């Protein structure tokens, strides 16, 4: 990355990109659909990314990286990393079909979902990856308490169901973990999917200096567990010894400010349930 | 050169094979499917060296072609009707990105109601996407047009994609003798693909980034407009070069048939052309002076040719196998548009053959008779007429 990006102060997705490129190196081609990162590199002719970059339509990242990969292979350039770098809307919602097709076909590609849990570039609208209880501009609460009450869609688990060689979650507060996962993925041939939780001060309504702290709390409260799935075998890479109550994570963010104690309790139960499921998956997939 | 008995779709597959695209991205849809099946067999048998991406939709097919072509290789895909309209967003992307992709389009009716038979609304609805459009008349033209389209589109002052149309079933599933050129001749004619730009880690560049209103967005679009205009001359030139190498001379943007001294000239797109030529011959024998202009390229639009054709006759009848709901079908509207201020010749629109309804020589002859009547009287009875509707005694 070169200086001069146009992201908001405290943008988690920008830190995510920096770590991803650090781990991958220069022999990399990026494809970015409509999302915050379609704007962050700068306005034509400026560009903060010192790797080739193909901007694409919102829903086509999976297809675009398939095309780049196969063209490179046809040209004998099999060593170049091909990376799709897309937001949660472009991945969990509008781009899910193209992603599913791409990973099922087994291309040697990276797909990075930087997850800021809503359509942030268009101004904070609910996506399938928005967490339970969150305020967004299309779940604005109001008299009817119309917040996002449905559970967050687990794209990583959808990817696991595609039987691909590498699936992982990561977040920017754990850079060693994140970089290690990218480097591990680099050694694996086939489709690699990595979901990076990337706090968004603008959309999550938190102070820009809290980005890393909130990212860390997401892991320490089990809101966003860090794990990897290699050929179907789960490994939780950061296991909080005594998970903190999710309230500590929620209270730092304006998007959860409206939640009542009962609602927080409901979300806590959902988080506990998912964590237990993950522990079970880790145990079962490691059994003979 | 080898003579083979090929369907239109097999001819398209051969056109692609001989042009040596390195990446094919394809999704099945009737009546296009046998193009991508034939290509799959070529690749499976080692007769064609290309990466074949079996995408999960036509939208992804075009997205993958765009990305692959932007990485520096020739690409090919094929589609029809709903597949083509699903691609719409990315068709505009492909031309805006100045990528000379070539795609076969088998013209099929749009639902509802479901119809897999021929109708040109699918590609007419892509008129403004910035793609060149060629409508073919026979299987030989299908094969040859694919090769010619790569040659024209890849010129660095053009850099525009092309869709090569065939009428569903009338060409796609009908066999004809086709001359299949030798690979070496096509290789020499086309040459290696030389991208004007590409994604390359050794020379990193960004493609398609954000542009503010004061940035060169408008200039990029203007350059596309100039390229599309320049394509007219390039099409004429490459058609001539193709004729010199392969012995088949295509008449540029419009094919005229017995238009000299005609009282009335019919303008058509696609396979109606060969039916109409036959009818022209029969009517000429009876002393009726009719002629035909088969518009091969709808984009770029052959305005010069059509203005010349208008000088030759007392009346033009424009046949459209699609309709633009609002007023008049596309070929008619555009013909009138380019004649305005240049010609007072009466022009009438005949809307025919939608949803694959057969256009027989008998009905074409009736249309010609109607045109001759208008030519004699000097004015049209009505500007737009739907021909052959159920219960309409006039055309039955």
Residue B396 has pLDDT above 90, yes or no: no
Domain count across chain A: 1
3-class DSSP assignment, residue A184: helix
Q: Are strands B315-320 and B297-299 parallel, antiparallel or unpaired?
A: unpaired
Chain A hits for B206, CB-CB cut-off 8 Å, are 41, 47, 49, 52-55
> Measured at the alpha carbon of residue B366, what is the angle toward residues B362 and B372, in degrees to the nearest 5?
140
Give the count of alpha carbons within 13 A of A243, CB side only: 18
Residue B390 has pLDDT above 90, yes or no: yes
The range of the structural domain enclosing residue A56 comes to: 12-286
Contacts of B166 (CB under 8 A, 6+ apart): B8, B9, B12, B104, B105, B106, B107, B136, B142, B172, B270
Place of tokens 């990006």: A5
pLDDT digits (tens, 9 = 90+) for B253-275: 999 999 999 999 999 999 999 99
The pTM assigned to this predicted structure is 0.97
Q: What is the pLDDT of residues B72-128, one digit of tens each?
A: 999 999 999 999 999 999 999 999 999 999 999 999 999 999 999 999 999 999 999
The proportion of chain B whose per-residue pLDDT surpasses 70, expressed as a percent, equals: 100
Smallest Cα distance from A104 to chain B, Å = 10
DSSP assignment letter at A90: I
Q: Give the C-alpha separation, A207 to A26, whole Å.
A: 33
Q: Which residues contact A140 (CB under 8 A, 6 or more apart)?
A: A146
Domain identity same for B263 and B309:
yes
Range of the domain at B49: 2-246
- Co-location of B283 and B304 in the same domain: yes
Tokens of A106: 């087994």
pLDDT band at B370 (very low <50, low <70, confident <90, very high): very high
Strands B102-107 and A28-32: unpaired
Q: What is the predicted pLDDT for the residue at B395?
A: 86
d(CA A48, nearest CA chain B) in Å: 10
Contact residues, chain A, for B216 at CB < 8 Å:
44
Q: Does A243 touch chain B (CB under 8 A)?
A: no
Provide the domain count of chain B: 2
Other beta carbons within 10 angstroms of residue B377's beta carbon come to: 12
Let me know: does A171 contact A179? Beta carbons within 8 Å.
Answer: no
Q: Which of B228, B246, B264 delimits the end of a domain? A: B246
Q: What CATH number is attached to the domain comprising A137?
A: 3.40.50.970
* A50 neighbourhood in chain B, CB within 8 Å: 204
**Shortest CA gap A47–chain B (Å):** 7
- Does residue B274 sit in the same domain as residue B321? yes
- Of A279, A165, A168, A179, nearest to A226 by C-alpha is A168
Q: What is the pLDDT of residues B276-318, one digit of tens each?
A: 999 999 999 999 999 999 999 999 999 999 999 999 999 999 9
Which of B246, B278, B306 is the last residue before a domain boundary? Answer: B246
Check residue A150 and give left, alpha or beta (phi > 0: left; psi -120 to 50: alpha).
beta
Same domain, B27 and B170: yes
**Based on the domain organization, do B126 and B193 belong to the same domain?**
yes
Same domain as B362, residue B215: no
Mean pLDDT over all residues of chain B?
A: 97
- Tell me, what's the pLDDT at B1? 78
**A interface test, pick of B54, B67, B219 with most A CB neighbours within 10 Å:** B67
CATH number (domain holding residue B337): 3.40.50.920
pLDDT in tens, B321-346: 999 999 889 999 999 999 999 999 99
Digitized pLDDT (tens) for each residue of chain A, 288 residues in all:
999 999 999 999 999 999 999 999 999 999 999 999 999 999 999 889 999 999 999 999 999 999 999 999 999 999 999 999 999 999 999 999 999 999 999 999 999 999 999 999 999 999 999 999 999 999 999 999 999 999 999 999 999 999 999 999 999 999 999 999 999 999 999 999 999 999 999 999 999 999 999 999 999 999 999 999 999 999 999 999 999 999 999 999 999 999 999 999 999 999 999 999 999 999 999 997
Q: Looking at the structure, do residues B242 and B288 belong to the same domain, yes or no?
A: no
Q: Which residues in chain A (75-104) have CB-CB distances under 8 A to chain B?
A: 75, 80, 97-98, 100-101, 104
Subunit contact A26:B23, Cβ cutoff 8 A: no
pLDDT at B239: 98
Residue A5 falls inside a structural domain = no
Check whether residue B276 and residue B390 sit in a common domain.
yes
Q: In which band, very low, low, confident or very high, does the pLDDT at B394 lie, cut at 50, 70 and 90?
A: confident
State pLDDT tens for residues B43-81: 999 999 999 999 999 999 999 999 999 999 999 999 999
Alpha helices (H) along chain B: 8-19, 33-44, 58-70, 81-86, 88-96, 121-124, 139-153, 183-190, 217-246, 272-285, 303-312, 330-339, 361-377
B141 SS3 class: helix
Is A2 among the domain residues?
no
Strand order in the sheet with B264-268: B254-257, B290-295, B264-268, B315-320, B347-351, B384-386
Residue A248 CB: number of other CB atoms within 10 A? 13
Residue B38: its pLDDT value, please? Answer: 98
């Amino acid at each position: 990355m070169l200086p001069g990006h146009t992201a908001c102060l405290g943008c988690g997705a920008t830190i995510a990109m920096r770590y991803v490129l650090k781990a991958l190196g220069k022999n990399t081609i990026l494809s970015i659909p409509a999302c915050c990162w379609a704007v962050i590199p700068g306005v034509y002719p400026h560009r903060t990314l010192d790797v080739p970059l193909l901007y694409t339509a919102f829903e086509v990242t999976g297809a675009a990286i398939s095309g780049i990969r196969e063209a490179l292979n046809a040209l004998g350039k099999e060593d170049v990393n091909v990376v799709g770098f897309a937001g949660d809307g472009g991945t969990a919602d509008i781009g899910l079909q193209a992603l599913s097709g791409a990973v099922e076909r087994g291309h040697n590609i990276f797909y990075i979902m930087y997850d800021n849990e809503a359509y942030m570039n268009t101004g904070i609208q609910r996506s399938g990856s928005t967490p339970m209880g969150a305020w967004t501009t299309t779940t604005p609460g109001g008299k009817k308490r119309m917040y996002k009450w449905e559970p967050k869609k687990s794209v990583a688990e959808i990817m696991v169901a595609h039987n691909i060689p590498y699936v992982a979650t990561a977040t920017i507060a754990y850079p060693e973990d994140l970089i290690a996962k990218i480097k591990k993925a680099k050694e694996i041939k086939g489709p690699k999917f990595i979901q990076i939780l990337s706090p968004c001060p603008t959309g999550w309504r938190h102070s820009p200096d809290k980005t890393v702290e909130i990212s860390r709390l997401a892991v320490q409260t089990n809101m966003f567990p860090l794990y990897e799935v290699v050929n179907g075998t789960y490994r939780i890479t950061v296991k909080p010894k005594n998970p903190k109550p999710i309230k500590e994570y929620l209270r730092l963010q304006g998007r959860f400010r409206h939640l009542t104690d009962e609602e927080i309790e409901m979300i806590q139960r959902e988080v506990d349930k998912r964590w237990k499921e993950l522990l079970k998956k880790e145990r079962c997939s490691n059994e003979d | 050169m080898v003579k083979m008995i090929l369907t239109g779709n097999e001819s398209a597959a051969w056109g692609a094979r001989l042009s040596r695209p390195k990446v094919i991205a394809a999704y099945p849809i009737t009546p296009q499917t046998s193009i991508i099946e034939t290509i799959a067999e070529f690749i499976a048998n080692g007769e064609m060296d290309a990466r074949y991406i079996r995408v999960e939709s036509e939208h992804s097919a075009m997205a993958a072609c765009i990305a692959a072509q932007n990485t520096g290789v020739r690409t090919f895909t094929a589609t029809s009707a709903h597949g083509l309209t699903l691609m719409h967003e990315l068709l505009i992307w492909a031309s805006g990105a100045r990528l000379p992709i070539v795609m076969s389009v088998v013209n099929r009716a749009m639902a509802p109601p479901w119809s897999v038979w021929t109708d040109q609304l699918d590609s007419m609805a892509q008129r403004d996407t910035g793609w060149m459009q060629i409508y073919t008349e026979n299987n030989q033209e299908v094969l040859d047009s694919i090769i010619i389209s790569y040659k024209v589109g890849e010129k660095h002052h053009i850099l525009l994609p092309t869709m090569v149309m065939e009428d569903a079933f009338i060409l796609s599933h009908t066999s004809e003798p086709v001359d299949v050129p030798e690979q070496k001749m096509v290789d020499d004619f086309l040459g290696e693909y030389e991208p004007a730009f590409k994604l390359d880690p050794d020379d990193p560049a960004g493609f398609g980034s954000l542009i503010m209103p004061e940035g060169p967005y408008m200039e990029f679009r203007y350059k596309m407009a100039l390229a599309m205009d320049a394509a007219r001359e390039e099409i004429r030139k490459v058609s001539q070069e193709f004729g010199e190498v392969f012995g088949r001379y295509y008449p540029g943007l419009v094919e005229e048939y017995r238009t000299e001294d005609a009282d009335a000239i019919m303008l058509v797109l696609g396979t109606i052309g060969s039916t109409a030529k036959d009818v022209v011959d029969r009517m000429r024998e009876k002393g009726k002076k009719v002629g035909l202009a088969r518009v091969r390229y709808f984009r770029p639009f052959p305005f010069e040719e059509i203005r010349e054709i208008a000088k030759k006759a007392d009346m033009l009848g424009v046949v459209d196998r699609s309709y633009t709901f609002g007023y008049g079908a596309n070929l008619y509207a555009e013909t009138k548009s380019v004649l305005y201020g240049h010609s007072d010749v009466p022009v009438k629109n005949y809307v025919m053959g939608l949803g694959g309804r057969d256009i027989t020589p008998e009905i074409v002859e009736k249309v010609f008779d109607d045109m001759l009547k208008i030519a004699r009287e000097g004015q049209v009875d009505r500007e737009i007429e739907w021909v052959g509707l159920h219960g309409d005694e006039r055309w039955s």
